[in-house]
């Protein structure tokens, strides 16, 4: 987070961010330390993302649809608004289908996004 916070302070923007710090927490609600950490990462990342940039991340396994839904609810709360696509692929080392997200600003007129 030191680099991200420095970029925020310096007004630097990037084209792409790949969030590979943690999986989407498997829980009944979007609360607790892991969710707070993930939400902090999302909010900070979009402060340094260029208007046409993309935030890419892995979600979790297809066997945890409730957690994926909670994550998507958190995405819907981001300001400025974002849009996303998700894809599913079999990950041999996990022995299951896994979801991946591409997230970008809903509009490209977010000059200070």
Q: What is the mean pLDDT of the chain?
A: 92
Closest by Cα among 68, 59, 50, 58 to 104:
50
Residue 22: pLDDT band by 50, 70, 90 thresholds? Answer: confident
The residue from 20, 97, 109, 112 that is catalytic is: 20
Domain ranges of the chain: 27-105
Determine the CATH number of domain 27-105.
3.40.50.150
- Residue 111 reports pLDDT greater than 60: no
Share of the chain above pLDDT 70, in %: 96
Helices marked H in 1-113 — which ranges?
2-10, 33-47, 65-77
- Residue 113 reports pLDDT greater than 50: no
- Strands lying side by side in the sheet with 14-19: 14-19, 49-61, 96-105, 82-91
pLDDT tens digits, one per residue of 66-91: 999 999 999 999 999 999 999 999 99
Known catalytic residue: 23?
Answer: no
The predicted structure's pLDDT at residue 70: 95
């Amino acid at each position: 987070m030191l680099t991200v916070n420095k970029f925020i302070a310096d007004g630097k923007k990037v084209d792409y961010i790949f969030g590979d710090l943690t999986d989407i927490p498997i829980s009944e609600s979007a609360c607790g330390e892991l969710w707070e950490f993930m939400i902090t990462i999302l909010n900070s990342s979009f402060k340094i993302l260029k208007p046409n940039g993309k935030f890419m991340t892995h979600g979790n396994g297809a066997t945890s649809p409730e957690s994926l839904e909670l994550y998507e609810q958190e995405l819907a709360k981001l300001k400025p608004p974002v849009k996303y696509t998700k894809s599913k692929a079999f990950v041999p080392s996990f022995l299951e289908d896994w979801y991946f997200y591409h997230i970008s600003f809903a509009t490209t007129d977010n000059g200070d996004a």
